[in-house]
């Protein structure tokens, strides 16, 4: 229930006034221009009216008291509507709901609910909750009593909707539509963005896939390579082991051979140390023999030379030959015997050869007298040499004999030494053969070492840590061809710049985000559409049902005021075609679905008159028709309060009475504030206020009447 209105600085109300509305009907009276309508304006203004025309002004600042010759202008206009909320018809847990609006010069506007600043929207929603709105029929302005008639079909529909308490849902629908359009915009934007990044993502995904493939293959390659290299190393290891074994064996054998060589050498040394003393003699004798041989050779050469000379001498002389005589032969044989006796074997042979030659020729050379002396010298030399030779032969024979004796004495020792030497030679031969083999094993070892290094190097090049090769992995060791093939495959897949991967992750994330967002927005959009459909259905259903009732009540009040006739409301399409409220006019389709009806039209038939249509009505008839409709609306969906501003001006006396009776009746459910000049109306009021314009140009309020029934809070 409307409890009080306070105005300050608004229009003609310079100073603060307070109007209590304790009864069901409050009337405001006063002379023209005193400021009565400004009170209705103030109520409209507090309720959030934005239209300057509706507030009967051209400029927002005109709403603030502008001053007069005597009063100065004011900087701020404010008004407050105080509602009693003990019944909690406003859904807030407060006994009073105070709605305020303030306006300052310069244009600032403030809205408050219970002194807390709020938005205009909050005020409109708050009032809509109790079926009150600034537009429509809540305040029926002066001269606009027939706004319900003058309104377009569409506007009328809105007014009726508001009267039926559907404004709240209409506002909700508008808000939902706004959200939907925002959602759809965002959705469209997200889709555009998805479309924009999709081709790039496709390219990047392809590249990322390549990277993955390469990585997978590289990982597989690494496993195979590890297996392969570990396998190779394992083979090398067993080879090394066998080499090591062989090496050890040969080392032992070599050591043993060395040892036996050493022993044999020792044996040899020992044997040589125990060499018999006669060995020295033997050596000396041998040396002596050698010396004698030397001398013998020299002497033999000398002899040859002497004999040669002797022969040459004979040939150069006139040789005288004589036949070989027996005595010569005898002497010669005797000579031979002597030579042999002397041990001169070679000389004996020479002598024998000469003798044979002489015997065969049968002649011998007889000595020449001319060279006898010479021959004699020579012969003496020959004899000397021969004597020396014979001496040497003799000595040699002696030595030989001694040597033979000595040799016999040391034969055993010699045999032993020879045995040792032979054994040593054999051992040494064996040792060098073994050494040869050992060297080849060492060579093999070096070779396998190189092989090992190579495998390790290859492994390192393939990026495989040495540690991971220590243990041979399970599974078959792959062949090299397999590895080569896989390696070629890895290399054939192009290497992708890591920046591309980063970009892929970012773009993919963005795409995912946008896709999720799109999904969310689609869901939101769908549920908003559902909500709009539900609201449409509710508004339509309630509106059609309410409209049918209002039409009936309209007809009832119309007939009551005019004493007959017929009036009703009907829905029209954009093409002004009539809709059947019962929904029988099915050719127009489901109204809720397409919202095809444009508005709400009026038909009125005055009794006894053939002419239909509002244009044919007189000013009074029109005013009465408008009031019938207003009463019809109020009867169906009683607003909490209603402000009438001189809507009863056109009524004659009998209609004034009817009017008074009707609103008296309606005031059971609706609180009335009526600005009037009509006495019938004033007589029905519980409270009567007089408004006057003071000399300073500001409006003043005088309380004229309080009914005994009413109590002022
Ligand atoms: P009527 O009975 O003829 O309809 P009314 O009592 O309804 O008259 P209003 O229209 O409420 O009169 O008041 C008009 C008066 O308010 C005028 O005198 C006008 O000068 C005054 N007025 C309007 N705006 C302002 C303002 N901003 N400052 C001072 N006075 C103002």
Whole-number Å distance, alpha carbon 629 to ligand 1 midpoint, is 29
Helix axes 372-461, 345-361, angle to 10 degrees: 130
The pair phi, psi for residue 145, each rounded to 5°, is -60, -30
Q: Which of the listed residues 27, 28, 34, 674 should we mutate to test ligand 1's pocket, taking the one with most ligand atoms within 8 A of CB? A: 34
Cβ pair 19, 671 in contact under 8 A:
no
DSSP letter at 587?
G
pLDDT, residue 180, reads 95
User: Which residue's CA is the nearest one to ligand 1's atom 23?
Assistant: 11
CB within 6 Å of ligand 1 — which residues?
11-12, 30, 32-38, 62, 65-66, 142, 697
Q: Which of the listed residues 13, 35, 645, 647 should we mutate to test ligand 1's pocket, taking the one with most ligand atoms within 8 A of CB? A: 35
User: Which residue's CA is the nearest one to ligand 1's atom 12?
Assistant: 33
Ligand 1 atom with least separation from CA of 65: 28
Ligand 1 atom with least separation from CA of 12: 30
Q: Report d(CA 442, CA 250) in Å as an integer.
A: 11
User: Which residue's CA is the nearest one to ligand 1's atom 31?
Assistant: 12
Whole-number Å distance, alpha carbon 677 to ligand 1 midpoint, is 16
Cβ pair 601, 527 in contact under 8 A:
no
Q: Which of the listed residues 27, 32, 38, 59 should we mutate to test ligand 1's pocket, taking the one with most ligand atoms within 8 A of CB? A: 38
In Å, how far are 239, 259, 372, 442 from 252, measured between CA atoms?
A: 20, 10, 86, 14
Question: Which of 574, 579, 570, 643 is closest to 604 using CA atoms?
Answer: 570
Whole-number Å distance, alpha carbon 693 to ligand 1 midpoint, is 9
DSSP assignment string, 556-569: HHHHHHHTS-EEEE
Length of the chain: 713
Ligand 1 atom with least separation from CA of 691: 6
User: Which residue's CA is the nearest one to ligand 1's atom 17?
Assistant: 33
Whole-number Å distance, alpha carbon 451 to ligand 1 midpoint, is 116
The pair phi, psi for residue 583, each rounded to 5°, is 80, 15
In Å, how far are 371, 375, 376, 388, 520 from 381, measured between CA atoms?
A: 15, 10, 9, 11, 151
- In a 10 Å sphere around its CB, with 0-12 CB exposed, 13-18 middle and 19+ buried, how is residue 33 labelled? exposed
User: Which residue's CA is the nearest one to ligand 1's atom 22?
Assistant: 12
Q: Report d(CA 334, CA 341) in Å as an integer.
A: 10
Mean pLDDT by 10 residues, the chain (713 residues): 95 95 94 95 94 90 91 94 94 95 94 96 89 69 74 87 82 93 95 94 90 89 88 90 91 89 91 80 89 91 86 66 78 86 85 84 62 71 89 91 86 88 91 90 93 91 82 76 89 82 92 95 96 91 91 93 90 70 44 58 87 78 88 86 88 87 89 93 93 93 72 40
Whole-number Å distance, alpha carbon 155 to ligand 1 midpoint, is 28
Whole-number Å distance, alpha carbon 649 to ligand 1 midpoint, is 18
Q: Report d(CA 298, CA 598) in Å as an integer.
A: 168
Ligand 1 atom with least separation from CA of 142: 4
7 forms beta bridges with: 17, 79
Q: Report d(CA 361, CA 473) in Å as an integer.
A: 110
Tokens of 472: 């041979």
Within 13 A of 93's CA, how many CA atoms are on the CB side? 0
Whole-number Å distance, alpha carbon 39 to ligand 1 midpoint, is 10
Whole-number Å distance, alpha carbon 38 to ligand 1 midpoint, is 6
Q: Report d(CA 166, CA 535) in Å as an integer.
A: 10
User: Which residue's CA is the nearest one to ligand 1's atom 26?
Assistant: 11
Question: Which of 417, 147, 163, 374 is closest to 267 using CA atoms?
Answer: 417
Q: Which of the listed residues 9, 28, 30, 37 should we mutate to test ligand 1's pocket, taking the one with most ligand atoms within 8 A of CB? A: 37
Tokens of 635: 């009867």
Tokens of 324: 């070989």
Whole-number Å distance, alpha carbon 117 to ligand 1 midpoint, is 29
Cβ pair 667, 685 in contact under 8 A:
no
Q: Report d(CA 109, CA 102) in Å as an integer.
A: 6
Whole-number Å distance, alpha carbon 55 to ligand 1 midpoint, is 12
User: Which residue's CA is the nearest one to ligand 1's atom 18?
Assistant: 33
Alpha helices in 462-497 (DSSP H): 480-492
pLDDT, residue 344, reads 86
Q: Report d(CA 139, CA 641) in Å as an integer.
A: 9
Question: Which of 79, 77, 84, 78 is closest to 21 using CA atoms?
Answer: 84
The pair phi, psi for residue 57, each rounded to 5°, is -155, 165
Whole-number Å distance, alpha carbon 675 to ligand 1 midpoint, is 14
Q: Which of the listed residues 10, 32, 33, 647 should we mutate to test ligand 1's pocket, taking the one with most ligand atoms within 8 A of CB? A: 33
Tokens of 37: 């309508």
User: Which residue's CA is the nearest one to ligand 1's atom 9?
Assistant: 35
Whole-number Å distance, alpha carbon 681 to ligand 1 midpoint, is 22
Whole-number Å distance, alpha carbon 562 to ligand 1 midpoint, is 35
The SS3 of residue 670 is: coil
Any residues with CB less than 8 A from the CB of 202 and at least 6 apart, and which? none
Dihedral-angle region of residue 131 (phi above 0 means left; psi in -120 to 50 means alpha; beta otherwise):
left
Ligand 1 atom with least separation from CA of 675: 7
pLDDT, residue 182, reads 96
Q: Which of the listed residues 7, 9, 11, 104 should we mutate to test ligand 1's pocket, taking the one with most ligand atoms within 8 A of CB? A: 11
Whole-number Å distance, alpha carbon 273 to ligand 1 midpoint, is 164
In Å, how far are 133, 168, 673 from 165, measured between CA atoms?
A: 9, 7, 20
Tokens of 391: 């001496």
Ligand 1 atom with least separation from CA of 35: 11
Whole-number Å distance, alpha carbon 261 to ligand 1 midpoint, is 149
Task: Share the mean pLDDT of the chain.
Answer: 86
Any residues with CB less than 8 A from the CB of 413 and at least 6 apart, and which? 271, 274, 275, 276
Tokens of 308: 């040669």
690 forms beta bridges with: 29, 702
Q: Report d(CA 470, CA 283) in Å as an integer.
A: 71
Q: Which of the listed residues 12, 19, 678 should we mutate to test ligand 1's pocket, taking the one with most ligand atoms within 8 A of CB? A: 12
Strand pairing class (687-693; 699-706):
antiparallel
User: Which residue's CA is the nearest one to ligand 1's atom 25?
Assistant: 11
Question: Which of 52, 40, 84 is closest to 643 using CA atoms?
Answer: 40
Alpha helices in 274-371 (DSSP H): 278-316, 326-342, 345-361
Whole-number Å distance, alpha carbon 34 to ligand 1 midpoint, is 6
């Amino acid at each position: 229930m409307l409890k009080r209105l306070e105005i300050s600085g608004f229009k003609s109300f310079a100073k603060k006034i307070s109007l209590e509305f304790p009864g069901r009907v409050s009337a405001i009276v006063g002379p023209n221009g005193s400021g009565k309508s400004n009170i209705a304006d103030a109520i409209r203004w507090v309720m959030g009216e934005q239209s300057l025309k509706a507030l009967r002004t051209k400029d927002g600042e005109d709403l603030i008291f502008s001053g007069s010759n005597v009063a100065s202008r004011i900087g701020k206009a404010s008004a407050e509507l105080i509602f009693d909320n003990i019944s909690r018809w406003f859904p807030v847990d407060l006994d009073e709901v105070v709605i305020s609006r303030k306006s300052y010069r310069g244009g600032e506007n403030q809205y408050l609910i219970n002194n807390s600043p709020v938005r205009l929207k909050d005020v409109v929603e708050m009032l809509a909750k109790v079926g009150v709105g600034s537009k429509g029929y809540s305040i029926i302005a002066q001269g606009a009593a027939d706004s319900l008639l003058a309104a377009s079909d569409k506007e009328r529909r809105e007014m009726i909707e508001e009267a039926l308490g559907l404004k709240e849902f209409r506002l909700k629908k508008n808000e939902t539509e706004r959200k939907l359009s925002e959602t759809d915009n965002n959705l469209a934007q997200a889709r555009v963005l998805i479309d924009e990044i999709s081709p790039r993502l496709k390219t990047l995904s392809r590249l990322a896939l390549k990277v993955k493939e390469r990585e997978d293959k590289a990982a597989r390659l690494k496993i195979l390579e590890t297996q392969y290299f570990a396998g190779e190393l394992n083979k090398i290891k067993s080879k090394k082991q066998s080499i090591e074994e062989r090496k050890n064996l040969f080392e032992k054998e070599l050591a043993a051979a060395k040892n036996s060589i050493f022993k044999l050498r020792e044996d040899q040394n020992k044997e040589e140390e125990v060499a018999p003393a006669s060995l020295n003699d033997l050596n000396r004798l041998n040396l002596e023999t050698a010396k004698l041989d030397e001398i013998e050779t020299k002497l033999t050469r000398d002899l040859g030379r002497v004999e040669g000379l002797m022969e040459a001498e004979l040939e150069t002389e006139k040789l005288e030959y004589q036949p070989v005589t027996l005595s010569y032969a005898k002497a010669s044989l005797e000579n031979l015997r002597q030579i042999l006796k002397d041990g001169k074997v070679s000389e004996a042979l020479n002598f024998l050869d000469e003798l044979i030659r002489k015997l065969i020729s049968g002649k011998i050379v007889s000595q020449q007298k001319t060279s006898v002396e010479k021959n004699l010298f020579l012969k003496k030399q020959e004899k000397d040499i021969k004597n020396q030779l014979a001496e040497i032969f003799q000595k040699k024979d002696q030595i030989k004999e001694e040597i033979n004796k000595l040799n016999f004495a040391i034969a055993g020792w010699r045999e032993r030494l020879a045995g040792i030497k032979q054994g040593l030679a054999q051992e040494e031969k064996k040792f060098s053969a073994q050494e040869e083999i050992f060297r080849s094993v060492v060579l093999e070892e070096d070779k396998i070492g190189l092989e090992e290094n190579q495998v390790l190097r290859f492994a390192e090049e393939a990026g495989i840590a040495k540690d991971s090769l220590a243990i041979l992995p399970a599974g078959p060791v792959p062949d090299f061809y397999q590895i080569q093939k896989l390696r070629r495959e890895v290399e054939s897949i192009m290497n992708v710049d890591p920046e591309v991967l980063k970009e892929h992750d970012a773009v993919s994330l963005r795409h995912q985000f946008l896709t999720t967002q799109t999904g969310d927005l689609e869901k939101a959009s769908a549920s908003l559409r559902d909500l709009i459909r539900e609201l449409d259905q509710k508004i339509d259903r309630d509106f059609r049902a309410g409209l049918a009732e209002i039409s009936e009540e309209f007809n009832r009040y119309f007939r009551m005021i005019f004493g007959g006739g017929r009036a009703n409301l009907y829905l029209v399409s954009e093409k002004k075609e009539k809709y059947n409220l019962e929904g029988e006019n099915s050719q127009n389709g489901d109204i809720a679905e397409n919202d095809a009806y444009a508005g709400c039209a009026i038909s009125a038939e005055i009794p006894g008159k053939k002419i239909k249509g509002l244009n044919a009505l007189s000013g009074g008839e029109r005013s009465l028709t408008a009031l019938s409709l207003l009463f019809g609306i109020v009867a169906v969906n009683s607003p909490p309060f209603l402000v009438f501003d001189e809507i009863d001006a056109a009524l004659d006396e009998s209609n004034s009475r009817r009017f008074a009776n009707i609103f008296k009746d309606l005031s059971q459910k609706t609180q009335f504030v009526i600005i009037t000049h009509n006495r019938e109306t004033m007589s029905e009021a519980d409270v009567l206020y007089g408004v006057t314009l003071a000399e300073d140009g500001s409006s003043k309020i005088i309380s004229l009447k309080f009914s005994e029934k009413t109590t002022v809070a």
